[in-house]
Amino acid sequence: MVSTCIQNICCIGAGYVGGPTMAVIADRCPNIQVNVVDLNESRIKDWNNSDLSKLPIYEPGLDEVVERARGRNLHFSTNVKSAIENADMVFISVNTPTKSKGVGAGKASDLRWVEACAREVAKYSKKHTIVVEKSTLPVRTAEVIKSILSSAQKEDNKHDEPKTFEVLSNPEFLAEGTAIKDLENPDRILIGGENISAVEALAQIYGQWVPNENILRTNLWSSELSKLTANAFLAQRISSINSVSALCEVTGADVNEVAKAIGTDTRIGSKFLKSGPGFGGSCFKKDILNLTYLCRHFGLPEVAEYWENVVKLNDWQQERIARLVVQKLFGTLAGKKISLLGFAFKANTNDTRESPAIMIAKRLLEEGAELAIYDPKVEGYQIKSCLSDTTLNVNNANSNKYTVNNDGRWGSAEDIYSSLKGADAALILTEWEEFKNLNWSEIAPIMRQPAWIFDARAIANQEAIKAAGLNIWRVGDGSE
Ligand code: UDX
Ligand code: UDX
């Protein structure tokens, strides 16, 4: 099959997706020069830090990949113009948050940065350039990109080699915390596009380490929609099991046992059935809201409502955990110290975007609690920026805002023990390995009795907690 051979890649956006993805491409394709550019100078400085523990994002294994490729064929800079000029292929990997105002506020994706990138590519490219959508985008965004690029194509008359473009969709399915593993050994690579030669040029890159049968080729719109659908399905499983967790608690069942029993049915499968404080992260909520916006736009309100409930249930799970803490602590948190163990939205990442810990912490602060927050990878300044916005999105699907009357105080604790010292309760919100085997008989005497352990991830050793004389609540456990 005829395909263009790619020698030089530019990626706009050095974030959680662009950075690790390009690092792995550069690692696996030493003959391709990969230039990752970003407007954020300090982020680029961090990517270039010779101390690999200071990379801007924490991902297991990322440092080794960067060490092998950086300076050889992986480069990080803020020079967008020159990176585009030299590129045969440009990945757009900028953020696409939910719009905060205007048409579609609270639901539609804000495409201003994607549009800005398309304009930059239109302006600076000098030859045939394949533009790859890496960011998660609403269906038919490729149309917007194409129309911006085609106007540049028409205006161009000064280059020897004609300035032409092809647009591909190549959504990223990596999960944070396992990004390198997911990139090196993906379940599938999805490439959507109309031009076979462009599709094959990208397939050839992934073909360096991914078996051809795992590289799926589809049309543009299927590819764009598959990404939103995949995230919606994953999120739906979490809301489903969380809804069952509440039912377990009142019926005497145990959600872990139920998850195991249903997950062994190969038609259901065992993954994404872990009950917890609700899903967080930059993608699930944003993508579902975006999906519901599209459904309404295309006159499908019933479909929109169906998916909106996945988000509503997720909000409810967080609310109910916060309420439960208040209730178990005799209806008031005023002056009580609560240790929050974990602030990241999941383990093995320092990312706090949409973390369930944010909503829960705000609720507890509203009740007057004194929170001692400990997370092994999240810095105090990150927690501060999450908690300084005192608005809460309640029922996000309907975009209702609520201002917290913040009576409590919080501080970030240096270590687990200082977070627990004198605490009336501990609330485990992230499934960090170090929270799984805590020495509860040592911890119990330093807490104020009667003390509670709220295990919202169902990871702690329940027997050891009980043996230490502590009260325990575990998500989805109705066996008490
Ligand atoms: C990704 C995807 O790209 C997004 O579509 C998905 O839905 C969420 O995950 P992510 O890599 O996590 O985004 O975003 P982020 O870590 O915020 O990185 C985006 C980067 O793009 C930032 O460093 C930002 O400075 C940069 N950027 C943004 C530019 O360089 N130029 C712009 O015009 C806009
Ligand atoms: C997700 C998708 O998995 C990935 O394919 C897509 O590219 C980006 O969005 P990510 O958000 O990084 O990845 O992490 P993921 O592992 O999916 O977890 C999302 C949230 O769901 C986390 O808050 C996690 O704790 C929660 N979760 C996950 C559960 O509560 N239970 C589970 O069984 C699995």
Confidence bin at 3 (pLDDT 50/70/90): low
Expressed in angstroms and rounded, the spacing between residue 96 Cα and the centre of ligand 1 is 7
Cβ(419) to ligand 1 under 6 A?
no
> Would you tell me how many other CB atoms lie within 10 Å of the CB of residue 349?
24
Domain boundaries, the chain: 8-218, 220-480
CATH class of the structural domain 220-480: alpha beta
Confidence bin at 1 (pLDDT 50/70/90): very low
pLDDT tens for each residue of 160-191: 677 899 999 999 999 999 999 999 999 999 99
Q: Which amino acid is at 46?
A: D
User: Is residue 94 predicted with pLDDT exceeding 80?
Assistant: yes
Cβ(43) to ligand 1 under 6 A?
yes
pLDDT tens for each residue of 30-84: 999 999 999 999 999 999 999 999 999 989 999 999 999 999 999 999 999 999 9
Predicted pLDDT at 140: 85
Predicted pLDDT at 393: 52
Predicted pLDDT at 395: 41
Give the C-alpha separation, 185 to 179, whole Å.
10
Cβ neighbors of 160 (< 8 A, separation 6 or more) are none
pLDDT tens for each residue of 442-451: 999 999 999 9
Cβ(350) to ligand 1 under 6 A?
no
Closest CA to 448 of 339, 325, 327, 321: 339
- Name the packing angle between helices 141-155 and 112-124 (round to 10°): 30
User: Is residue 397 predicted with pLDDT exceeding 80?
Assistant: no
> Would you tell me how many other CB atoms lie within 10 Å of the CB of residue 63?
17
Q: Which amino acid is at 205?
A: I
pTM for this predicted structure:
0.92
pLDDT tens for each residue of 221-263: 999 999 999 999 999 999 999 999 999 999 999 999 999 999 9
Tell me, yes or no, if the two domains 8-218 and 220-480 fold the same way. Answer: yes
User: What is the average per-residue pLDDT within 430-435?
Assistant: 97
Residue 456: helix, strand or coil by DSSP?
coil
172 as an active site residue: the answer is yes
436 as an active site residue: the answer is no
Cβ(172) to ligand 2 under 6 A?
yes
Please name the helix (run of DSSP H) or strand (run of DSSP E) that holds residue 169, with its range, or none: strand 165-169
Contact 139, 224 (CB under 8 A): yes
User: Is residue 402 predicted with pLDDT exceeding 60?
Assistant: no
Predicted pLDDT at 428: 98
Domain 8-218 grouped into CATH 3.40.50.720: yes
Mutate which of 95, 169, 282 for ligand 1? The one with the most ligand atoms within 8 Å of its CB, which is 95
- Residue by residue, DSSP assigns 349-382 as ----TT-HHHHHHHHHHHTT-EEEEE-SS--HHH
Q: Which two tokens stand for residue 18?
A: 């662009």
Of the residues 10, 283, 295, 386, which is catalytic?
Answer: 283
Expressed in angstroms and rounded, the spacing between residue 347 Cα and the centre of ligand 2 is 10
